[in-house]
Amino acid sequence: MTILDTVNKLKSGEITSRSLVESLKATFEADKKSELPLNAFLEIFEDATAKAEACDKEIAEAKAKGSLDKLFEEKPLLGVPFASKDNINVRGQKITCGSKILEGYVAPYSATVINRLEKAGAIPLGRCNQDEFAMGSSTEYSSYGPTRNPANRQYVSGGSSGGSAAAVASNQAVFGIGTETGGSVRLPASYCGIYGLKPTYGVLSRWGVVAYGSSLDQVGILGHTPRDIALPLYAMAGEDFYDDTSADLPCKEDLKNLKAYTDFSSLKIAVPKQFAETKGLDEDVAKVFEETKQWFISKGAKIEIVDLPILDASIASYYVIALSEAASNLSRFDGIRYGNRIDSGKGYDELYVETRSNGFGPEVKRRIIIGNYVLSEQFSGSTYKKGMSVRARIQKEVAKLYESYDLILCPTCPTAAFKLGQKVDNPLEMYLSDLYTVFVNLSRCTSISVPAGKNRDGMPVGIQFAGPMFSEAKILSIAQAWEDEKGNN
Ligand code: GLN
């Protein structure tokens, strides 16, 4: 069910929020017992039912008073359960970031994005699985087992927000939120066959979201339709006192009743050569991409191939910057301030070493080591600086491109979802899954992955509609036009 379906059914009394939450809980319990569990949710929050009952009460009271429409005007997500990610704080609930080091840790406060969704009436249903500390592209690096793909359970869900994507794709939640540092919402959206938006850096507050690479981190939204993304974005977007990098979204009002785009004849689209002629681009993905281009052309849009050689350096720049920031951010997990502690009484150094050696998984350790290596005295001023200057170039050249074009069109990933275990021991190959997504994070812009077709194995393929900073309403409305013609929702 979409948000609109859910709200209409809640209004008409066909369902109650309580009955919806109970049925989603039952689906979760049944999945846990199945032979190949999806493992999308790590936990359904115990208080979700009580919160749903409170929403039902509000709805009943407004109905009696004849003010139902007014109520939903104020709270457009009233009674709608959503999937959250295990690195977003929900006060009083456990939060582990998919890591053993935080097992049993309870969130002392709620993230701004959670507070704002709750203010709009939405119900945090539970926390979803993810790659440990959001480091990964398949959700296989979780300490709590992988999340499987709802389209075929032998395949990965994508990552790092694989749990939130699988929860939405399998109808275990109406919509979901995840986080992006370098594609972690768009990639699982593409693999699971749903929509996933990475907003402009700053549009969604990072307060209460566990940091990975702070200059890149951004909360993202997963939904069945672009409208299902627009409404939660409307509820969450805007400046936050607690996050100095946060910013208002100028096009926010257009999100409330998102219209499908119509003005295709004035649309200019750039297709970077670097993303259309890549060696690793899968044949079936290339075919779906071609069909998407043809759709735009048939609508009257102009498409041009552009040459942006700097994009070839985006993966290298991203991993240098993200891992440097991660090494610094993750130093707070020291066994003193957060989560688990292993103390054999031999002093602080031992305590740090034992807690971190036992608490972090192998991929997180690899990244902390690489990050510290890059930042070490021997290298400072060379590798990190180079990573930063490549980023500045990408930012500048992408911004310049958007002076002449409305959209960048490219596949979300070089391949569709792969089988579980296929890349888990080959980090470099795993990193290459992010080839087409990280330029958006590096340039602080926005992009949506739209479900655009299937490969020969029936696995979903996503294509990105990427736009300049603060163009969320426009790219979502273009995606809505796509959904109206091509979608199943
Ligand atoms: N796959 C990328 C990484 O491992 C992106 C992760 C993310 O966006 N959180 O760093």
Q: Of the listed 170, 184, 190, 324, which one is catalytic?
A: 184
pLDDT at residue 277 in the model: 80
Is the shortest distance between the CB of 98 and ligand 1 below 6 Å? Answer: no
State the DSSP code for 209.
Answer: B
What average pLDDT is seen over the chain?
96
181 CA to centre of ligand 1 in angstroms = 5
- Among 212, 216, 367, 439, the mutation site with the greatest number of ligand 1 atoms within 8 A of its Cβ is 212
Whether 160 is a known active-site residue: answer yes
- Is the pLDDT reported for residue 357 higher than 60? yes
Whether 85 is a known active-site residue: answer yes
Nearest CA to 136 among 428, 430, 416, 379?
430
- Is the pLDDT reported for residue 489 higher than 60? no
Percent of the chain with pLDDT over 90: 96
Nearest CA to 188 among 468, 9, 451?
451
Is the shortest distance between the CB of 407 and ligand 1 below 6 Å? Answer: no
Q: Which is the closest atom of ligand 1 to the Cα of 438?
A: 5
CB 471 within 8 A of CB 251: yes
Is the shortest distance between the CB of 315 and ligand 1 below 6 Å? Answer: no
Tokens encoding 192: 């699971």
The pLDDT of 20-41, averaged and rounded, is: 96
Is the shortest distance between the CB of 180 and ligand 1 below 6 Å? Answer: yes
pLDDT at residue 473 in the model: 98
Is the shortest distance between the CB of 182 and ligand 1 below 6 Å? Answer: yes
Q: Given CA atoms 216, 477, 292, 153 in this order, what sign does their dihedral have? A: positive
Q: Given CA atoms 421, 427, 431, 432 in this order, what sign does their dihedral have? A: negative
**Predicted structure pTM score:** 0.97
Is the shortest distance between the CB of 325 and ligand 1 below 6 Å? Answer: no
From CA 307, how far away is CA 79, in angstroms rounded?
48
Q: Using one digit for the tens of pLDDT, what is the confidence trace for 306-354?
A: 999 999 999 999 999 999 999 999 999 999 988 899 999 999 999 999 9
Is the shortest distance between the CB of 183 and ligand 1 below 6 Å? Answer: yes
- pLDDT-based confidence at 54, cuts 50/70/90? very high
The pLDDT of 206-230, averaged and rounded, is: 98
- Among 434, 438, 444, 449, the mutation site with the greatest number of ligand 1 atoms within 8 A of its Cβ is 434
The pLDDT of 407-416, averaged and rounded, is: 97
Q: Using one digit for the tens of pLDDT, what is the confidence trace for 237-271?
A: 999 999 999 999 999 999 999 999 999 999 999 99
Q: Using one digit for the tens of pLDDT, what is the confidence trace for 432-483?
A: 999 999 999 999 999 999 999 999 999 999 999 999 999 999 999 999 999 9
pLDDT at residue 279 in the model: 77
Q: Which residue minimizes the CA distance to atom 10 of ligand 1?
A: 135
161 CA to centre of ligand 1 in angstroms = 9
Is the shortest distance between the CB of 434 and ligand 1 below 6 Å? Answer: yes
pLDDT at residue 122 in the model: 98
In 71-142, the DSSP E strands lie at 81-85, 123-128
- Among 131, 201, 321, the mutation site with the greatest number of ligand 1 atoms within 8 A of its Cβ is 131
The pLDDT of 393-400, averaged and rounded, is: 98
- pLDDT-based confidence at 488, cuts 50/70/90? low
pLDDT at residue 297 in the model: 98
pLDDT at residue 378 in the model: 82
Q: Of the listed 85, 198, 423, 474, which one is catalytic?
A: 85
Is the shortest distance between the CB of 447 and ligand 1 below 6 Å? Answer: no
The pLDDT of 263-281, averaged and rounded, is: 92
Whether 142 is a known active-site residue: answer no
316 CA to centre of ligand 1 in angstroms = 13
Question: What are the backbone angles phi and psi of residue 164, rounded to the nearest 5°?
Answer: -65, -40
- Is the pLDDT reported for residue 225 higher than 70? yes
